Amino acid sequence: MTVTSPVAGHDAAAPEEPVVELVGVRAAYGAIEVLKGVDLVVPVGSVVALLGPNGGGKTTTMKIVSGLMPTTAGELRLSGRNVTGITATEASRLGVCSIPEGRGVFANLTVRENLWVATGTGTPLAEVEEAAYTRFPKLGDRRNQLAGSMSGGEQQMLALSRALGTSPAVLLLDELSMGLAPMIVSQMYDIVGQLAEEGISILLAEQFARVVLPIADTAALMLGGRIVAVGDPADIEHELSTTYLGG
Amino acid sequence: MSPSETVLETTGVVVRFGGNTAVDDVGIDIRAAGVTGLIGPNGAGKTTLYNCITGMQRPDAGRVVFDGQDVTGLAPGARARRGMARTFQRLELFLSLSVRDNLRVAGDIVRANTRRKLDVEAETDRVLELTGLTDVAHLDVSDIPTGRARVVEVARALMTRPRLLLLDEPASGQTEQETEKFAAMLRALADDGLAICLVEHDLPLVMGLCSRIHVLDHGVLIASGTPAEVQASPAVIEAYIGAEVVA
Amino acid sequence: MTLFLTFTVLGLVLGAVYAIAASGLVLTYNTSGIFNFAHGAQAMIGAFLYYQLQVVWGVPALLSVLVLLLVVGPLMGFLLHRFIMGGLRDTADVTKIVVTVAILLGFVSLSHWAWDPQEARMTKMFFGVDSYVTVGGVVVRYHEIICLLAAAAIAIGLRLLFTRSRVGVLMRATVDDPDLLRLNGHDPERIAATAWALGSTLAVLAGILITPVAGGALEANALTLLVIDAFAAALFGRLRSIPRTFVGAIVLGLASTYLVAYAPSEWSWVTNLRDALPMIILFIVLLVLPQDRLRGAAVRTRERYEVPTVRRAAVWAGVMVLATVAFRQLIDDSSVGTLVLGLSFAIMALSLTLLTGYAGELNLAPVSFGAIATIVAFHSGIEGEGLDARMNVVGLALGVLAAALTGALVALPALRLRGLYLALATLAFGGLVSSMVLRETQERSWFGQDLALFPNGNLIVSPLAVGPLDLGDQTTFLYTASAVFAVLGVGVVALRNSGYGRRLAAMKDSPAAAAMLGQRLPLLKLSVFMISTGMAGLGGVFMSMALSSVTADHFVYTLSLSLVMLTVVGGIGYVSGALVGGLLAGGGFALIVGSFNELSIEHPVHAETFGVLSHLFLVLTALIGIGVGDNPSGNMHAIFRGQRVLARAPEVRYAALALTTVLYALAYTEVIGTWTFSLLVLVLWLALPAIGTALRAEKILPPEAVAARRATPLELVGIDTPYPPLLAEHLDRELGLPARHRATVPAPPVADATARTTTGPVAGEEAQHVPV
């Protein structure tokens, strides 16, 4: 349990304020606690990878940051501001762009309509479309096709397009690789790497550890609702291989 | 190893969702008196295949044969009455009943279906004892932790005296000690002749418990065999870790 | 040929209006997940307001329409969403349905209040009947052209909305995945509010258009049932597709006009059939709809019901019968009838406890099943003539059986589908009974036997006589009704505690898991529905016997809906909830509205006031029904909760019991009136938890709470809240206290600075009791 500090101290946000910060965050589904005190920092302009097996709490952590799930204790800060209890709508408008696990697209909407929904944070449709079709010409060809009828890779491209046009403060990517062929996965992460180079701060959760290690600045290993190790991706990778198949 | 009979077999099962093929020409078998593992990364199609086996999902092609009979067109209930039982990844307990009554009602259903003289009370007590739930029997199911709730689902399934028990991520939400006890229980059930199929992310549990393992990746069956064979398979390692041998 | 074309045009016009109504229904259902049973009632309000503006106040037609479509419709939808629908998250489907049913009833009561239903009202077609064009020999009136154009415009408009406007795309996105919409920075609630505004406007438009097409007479009940027509049309699109809904509406419109045009002339019941057609089509569509896929759905909703043991139920059943006997001694003969009526309704309500409370399914027409049972019992069981006529037990049994079998027929098409469909099938059945069965007032040949189902529109239902038991005596009837309810109540509880009852609970909690254990869900649903409708039939026959003469008005669907609503308000998961709901629906209403009427006759000066009060009471009841969104488990649940604390201080209960006895003695000796007695006893027992807690705090409350209570002397209440540090520092500065003390005391929860300095040690003690 952390004590809520008065807001006053944070009024003058230092330039080094991390874009996302979790302090002692706990969360539960009903009586079942799934996050047992998570501390996590995403510095401005860096890529942080959450790694670990399923059930470790990665997705829940992402849901906390994106505002889809309330905390039971602890504090969520965005750019130094305490925003604990924020709703997903508000978080999104503060520049948190979250691509959830599974499909991050509306299956019964066309590609263009999906991009239209992505304008919820204020970017004009034309800009979002331009950015998406430039990066993924395939999407431009299929702008009037229903998103649900496209392949998994194309759907994920569409989901990623939301981050392209809207220049978010931080991008959350939950299991970008889910259900995708390895080729497509590495393509996706190439794009993510480019976004990172453009200076977007990124927090991503991934069970395919290896694909994200090249682009991550920091890796955090999550197990049993806690972050058990944080550090250089290469070091964590080593630790990871021992946790995964049980040695 | 004694040649045990095949209880369930799928051949050429295909399921498509829109433009995605979730399960692509999968043929697996599950044998009596043993635990069969079904593993694969997130989104590999395990749950979809499970739904085909239990009848919650009609496959676009292929057959499901249970106990020598084609059950592909049968509803879930009809399969259950032939001796198939399952647990659910997202718990599906009867929330308005106590733990004991969750088991009892399964016996009630069997008795109503078969008009068989079944001593539901005695059977309930036996299964509660067997699964180690006696101490929480009187509690509301919503008041017990997930780990125990998973055991309640197994116990409830056992009340129908199934020939095949399908478990969907039973270890998630369990503590380490709970998982250990759980594994011992499954081993004992298999020794009594039950065919068990296990979809699980906890690979140490799967490797330690299963006599045979099927591995799915992107809807395709990429390996079948003993734990040692599967762990040695380059395709499995590629799918799971990305490269490098781990086990 | 001209005849055919004429009827085709008429059918298209009717279909166009159905389409407008149905598209609004589909819109709100999909964006908010709430099926709006009040959709027809909204149309009705729209039609009446149009009448008020255009006919009564003489506002030009166009202006009236604009006001209704641009202001009233959107506002109504927005307010409904803002204040009612938004609060229905995490409630069971039953609660959502009941809330919209309550809104329906509220609108109907409002309309009866504002526009006396005895008075005939007509609205005219736009531009009158005489403005028409002739196309190929067919007369097409301007109004009809407007209907067709409006429907076409709405079809195109909705299409454009959903594909070319952002808000429309967002509405479709809400259907797909509301959470993803939030992640995109949108607020699904606001989008749902927009959809409600639009849906309500469409309802209002349909209401304005349909009245002249359907004959011109404004009738609140008929218009309210427009929801069934709209629903039947929407079913063609499985409640999702708006284009298919339009097709369904046109089919419906054409079918009903062709029926009138081409049915053989000897089919005198065709006009009735026409009214019932949407309901019949609804049944057919339900039959051909593909089965819902089983999905895992065990989500925790806010409803909670606890199950008593059979022994406990039996004790309470005994108490209830004794209380009835005791209460009988206090009331005069005329009140006995009201009480019997209330108990009859309670028996019908009990059928809902089994069906809805235990099995999670809904029957929106229990009273209509009562009508079926009454008709069968009347035709098969009456012996003797005139005042000596009695119903025999065979007639009663056949009536109950008929209700159960009818229940099976009604449920059959909807068994494979979700609960909402069954609820709608029952509502349609209620409409069917009213518009066909109860209108069978003339003799006709039924399988070679000449019979009028509902002779002269008025059945004289004689009281039951079984051996020495003769319900011709009011007191005997009262005791019998009470005993029947008590026995059935215990039976229902016993059923819940049996394997059958557990299977019902399993089906309600998780159909997927129950099916995977081998439960045949349709069979179980069918059996419980039959038991339930049989019970409703029994209650219905009792009701008819209590009234002794019944007309179609006694089985009107609003009565069913009130009963369902009041039972949910009472607590549909409890036998006592059924008792409360039934007594209120059957006796309470009549009694309270009746006493207002009597009062207004006795005091003609205040007649108007009493009239307003009685209408207000009806509207308020609907508001209470709407309130179940906040308290979905019902009031009995809350009352039980409250009473339970007294278990630790039984002497409080004994005292209350003694006081009740004293009050009873006073009432018996006519020192106090029956009303006073009833009121005092009610207040005493409802307030008992509070009284008990006040008197026996140390036994009832946990030790900390007792300590907290004692700690704050009355004069200090409210001033012991901790000061915010900034304010405290400010005070310190003002008072000239050394500021560094503050730094060493973290977040001082101390009363106030002066008290601390003057009273020393006491202050420390106080600080411990400050709520944290």
Q: B125-152, pLDDT tens digit by residue?
A: 999 999 999 999 999 888 887 788 999 9
- Nearest CB neighbour to A118, from listed C182, C184, C187: C184
Measured between CA atoms, how close is A68 to chain B, in angstroms?
A: 18
Q: Is the pLDDT of residue C46 over 90?
A: yes
Domain ranges across chain B: 1-83+163-247, 93-161
With an 8 Å Cβ cutoff, is C418 touching chain A? no
Q: B20-54, pLDDT tens digit by residue?
A: 788 999 999 999 999 999 988 777 888 889 989 99
Whether A108 sits inside 8 A of C186 (CB atoms) is no
- CA separation (Å) from B212 to A96, B9, B225, B230? 44, 14, 5, 9
Domain ranges across chain C: 2-288, 310-551, 715-769
- pTM, two decimals, is 0.83
Q: Is the pLDDT of residue C721 over 70?
A: no
Between these two residues, C170 and B243, which has the higher pLDDT value?
C170
- B interface with C, Cβ–Cβ < 8 A, is 54, 56, 75-77, 80-81, 85-86, 88, 90-97, 101, 104-113, 120, 142, 156-157, 159-160
Q: C60-94, pLDDT tens digit by residue?
A: 989 999 999 999 999 999 999 988 888 887 778 88
Mean pLDDT over A111-126 rounds to 90
Mean pLDDT over C766-772 rounds to 37
Between these two residues, C295 and C382, which has the higher pLDDT value?
C382
Which residues in chain B have their CB less than 8 angstroms from residue A31's CB?
Answer: 142-143, 145
SS (H, E, C) C137-160: CEEEEHHHHHHHHHHHHHHHHHHH
Amino acid at C520: R
Is B198:B210 a contact under the CB 8 Å cutoff? Answer: yes
Mean pLDDT over C553-569 rounds to 89
Percentage with pLDDT > 70 across chain C: 88
Per the prediction, chain B carries an average pLDDT of 88
Mean pLDDT over C738-744 rounds to 48
Q: C239-250, pLDDT tens digit by residue?
A: 888 899 999 999
Dist CA B70 CA A74 (whole Å): 54
Whether C177 sits inside 8 A of A66 (CB atoms) is no
The token pair at B45 is 């199609």
Which residues in chain C have their CB less than 8 angstroms from residue B108's CB?
Answer: 499-500, 502-503
Whether B19 sits inside 8 A of A148 (CB atoms) is yes
User: A27 forms bridges with which residues in the sheet?
Assistant: A35
CA of residue A200 relative to chain centroid, distance: 11
Q: A170-204, pLDDT tens digit by residue?
A: 999 998 877 677 778 888 888 888 888 888 899 99
Q: How many CB atoms neighbour CB C264 within 10 A?
A: 7
Q: Is the pLDDT of residue C769 over 50?
A: no
Per the prediction, chain C carries an average pLDDT of 84
Buried b (16+ CB within 10 A) or exposed e, B167-190: bbbbbbbbeeebbebbbebbeebb
Whole-number pLDDT of residue B238: 74
With an 8 Å Cβ cutoff, is A53 touching chain B? yes
Q: How many CB atoms neighbour CB A176 within 10 A?
A: 24
Q: C467-526, pLDDT tens digit by residue?
A: 899 998 999 999 999 999 999 999 999 999 999 999 999 999 888 899 999 999 999 999
Which residues in chain B have their CB less than 8 angstroms from residue C308's CB?
Answer: none
Q: Is the pLDDT of residue C429 over 50?
A: yes
Whole-number pLDDT of residue B193: 92
Sort residue C294 into left (φ over 0), alpha (ψ -120 to 50) or beta: beta
By CA distance, what is A66's nearest residue in C? C183
Measured between CA atoms, how close is C723 to chain A, in angstroms?
A: 15
Whether C296 sits inside 8 A of B92 (CB atoms) is yes
SS (H, E, C) C213-270: HCCCECCHHHHHCHHHHHHHHHHCCCCCCHHHHHHHHHHHHHHHHHHHHHCCCCCCCH
Whole-number pLDDT of residue A247: 33
Which are the contacts of A174, defined by CB distance < 8 A and separation ≥ 6?
Answer: A58, A59, A62, A98, A99, A100, A101, A204, A205
Whether B204 sits inside 8 A of A32 (CB atoms) is no
Is C572:C352 a contact under the CB 8 Å cutoff? Answer: yes
Residue A2 DSSP symbol:
P
Which residues in chain B have their CB less than 8 angstroms from residue A149's CB?
Answer: 18-19
Where do the H-state alpha helices sit in C635-769?
635-644, 650-668, 674-695, 697-700, 703-711, 725-735, 740-744, 753-759, 761-769
Residue A42 DSSP symbol:
E
Mean pLDDT over C163-173 rounds to 91
With an 8 Å Cβ cutoff, is C165 touching chain A? no
Which residues in chain B have their CB less than 8 angstroms from residue A211's CB?
Answer: 242
With an 8 Å Cβ cutoff, is C508 touching chain B? yes
Whether A179 sits inside 8 A of B142 (CB atoms) is no
By CA distance, what is B176's nearest residue in A? A224
Is A152:A184 a contact under the CB 8 Å cutoff? Answer: yes
Which residues in chain B have their CB less than 8 angstroms from residue C518's CB?
Answer: 77, 80-81, 109-110, 113, 160
Q: Is the pLDDT of residue B155 over 70?
A: yes
With an 8 Å Cβ cutoff, is A14 touching chain B? no
Report the residue of C161, C183, C191 to disrupt the A interface, i.e. the one with the largest count of A CBs within 10 Å.
C183
Whole-number pLDDT of residue A117: 92
Mean pLDDT over B101-108 rounds to 95
C133 pLDDT band (50/70/90 cuts)? confident
Of the given ranges (B128-142, C318-332, C369-383, C432-446), which has the lowest mean pLDDT?
C432-446
Enter the ipTM: 0.92
Q: Is the pLDDT of residue C261 over 50?
A: yes
Amino acid at B79: R
When the candidates are 3.40.50.970, 3.30.1360.120, 3.40.50.300, 3.40.1260.10, the CATH number that belongs to B1-83+163-247 is 3.40.50.300
- Fold of the C2-288 domain: ABC transporter involved in vitamin B12 uptake, BtuC (1.10.3470)
Q: Is the pLDDT of residue A162 over 90?
A: no
Which residues in chain A have their CB less than 8 angstroms from residue B218's CB?
Answer: 179-181
B107-116, C109-118, C495-504: which has the highest mean pLDDT? Answer: C495-504
Q: How many CB atoms neighbour CB B71 within 10 A?
A: 19
Name all domains of chain A by residue range, CATH numbers in brackets. 17-95+170-177+199-247 (3.40.50.300)
Whether C505 sits inside 8 A of B80 (CB atoms) is no
C301 pLDDT band (50/70/90 cuts)? low
Mean pLDDT over C332-355 rounds to 92
Is C737:C752 a contact under the CB 8 Å cutoff? Answer: no
B19 pLDDT band (50/70/90 cuts)? low
Contacts of B among chains (3+ CB pairs under 8 A): A, C
Report the residue of A62, A109, A245 to disrupt the B interface, i.e. the one with the largest count of B CBs within 10 Å.
A245
108-147 in A: which are within 8 Å (CB) of B? 146
Q: Is the pLDDT of residue C375 over 50?
A: yes
With an 8 Å Cβ cutoff, is A150 touching chain B? yes
Whether B241 sits inside 8 A of A30 (CB atoms) is no
With an 8 Å Cβ cutoff, is A84 touching chain B? no
Q: C479-494, pLDDT tens digit by residue?
A: 999 999 999 999 999 9
